Amino acid sequence: MSSDSPSPLIALIEDEEHLAQGLLFNLAAEGFRTHHESDGDAALAYLLAAPPSGPEKISVIVLDCMLPGADGFAITRALREAQRYTPILMLTARTRPEDVLEGLEAGADDYLPKPFDLNILIVRIKSLIRRTAWQAAQTPPTEPPPPPDTYFFNNRTIDFAALELIAPNRFTHLTVMEADLLRFFTEREGQIVSRTDILERVWRVHADTDTRAIDNFIVRLRRYIEDDPANPQHLTTVRGIGYRFLANP
**Same domain? 94 vs 166:** no
145 part of a folded domain: no
119 part of a folded domain: yes
**Same domain? 70 vs 132:** yes
pTM for this model (two decimals): 0.62
**Same domain? 23 vs 83:** yes
| E strand intervals along the chain | 9-13, 33-37, 58-64, 88-92, 110-113, 150-153, 156-159, 164-167, 170-173, 192-194, 235-238, 242-245
From residue 3, how far is each of 7, 165, 203 by CA, in Å? 9, 36, 37
* pLDDT given for residue 94 in this prediction: 72
Provide the CA 30 distance to its chain's centre, in angstroms: 24
- Which amino acid is located at 166 in the chain? I
How many domains does the structure of the chain reveal? 2
**What CATH number did the domain enclosing 85 receive?**
3.40.50.2300
CA–CA distance, 113 with 155 (Å, rounded to integer): 40
**Same domain? 171 vs 132:** no
17 part of a folded domain: yes
Query: Which CB contacts under 8 angstroms, 24+ apart, belong to 33-37?
Result: 33/6, 33/7, 33/8, 33/9, 34/9, 34/10, 35/9, 35/10, 35/11, 36/11, 36/12, 37/11, 37/12, 37/13
**Same domain? 33 vs 116:** yes
**Same domain? 55 vs 21:** yes
Is the separation of the CB atoms in 79 and 107 below 8 Å?
yes
**What CATH number did the domain enclosing 191 receive?**
1.10.10.10
Domain of 30? 9-137
pLDDT digits (tens, 9 = 90+) for 98-138: 677 777 778 888 888 888 899 999 999 998 888 777 766 65
Furthest-apart CA pair in the chain: how many Å? 57
Q: Which of 79, 110, 137 is the endpoint of a domain?
A: 137
**Same domain? 24 vs 133:** yes
**Same domain? 155 vs 233:** yes
179 part of a folded domain: yes
Paired with 156 in beta bridges are: 153
pLDDT digits (tens, 9 = 90+) for 46-98: 999 999 888 889 999 999 999 999 999 999 999 988 888 899 999 988 767 66
pLDDT digits (tens, 9 = 90+) for 190-204: 999 988 888 778 876
* pLDDT given for residue 43 in this prediction: 96
- The dihedral through the CA atoms of 11, 17, 19, 22 has a sign that is positive
CA–CA distance, 124 with 146 (Å, rounded to integer): 30
Evaluate the omega torsion of the peptide bond into residue 232 and state whether it is cis, within 30 degrees of 0: no
Paired with 123 in beta bridges are: none
**Same domain? 47 vs 26:** yes
Percent of the chain with pLDDT over 90: 51
Provide the CA 167 distance to its chain's centre, in angstroms: 21
CA–CA distance, 239 with 81 (Å, rounded to integer): 32
Mean pLDDT of the chain: 86
44 part of a folded domain: yes
CA–CA distance, 246 with 189 (Å, rounded to integer): 6
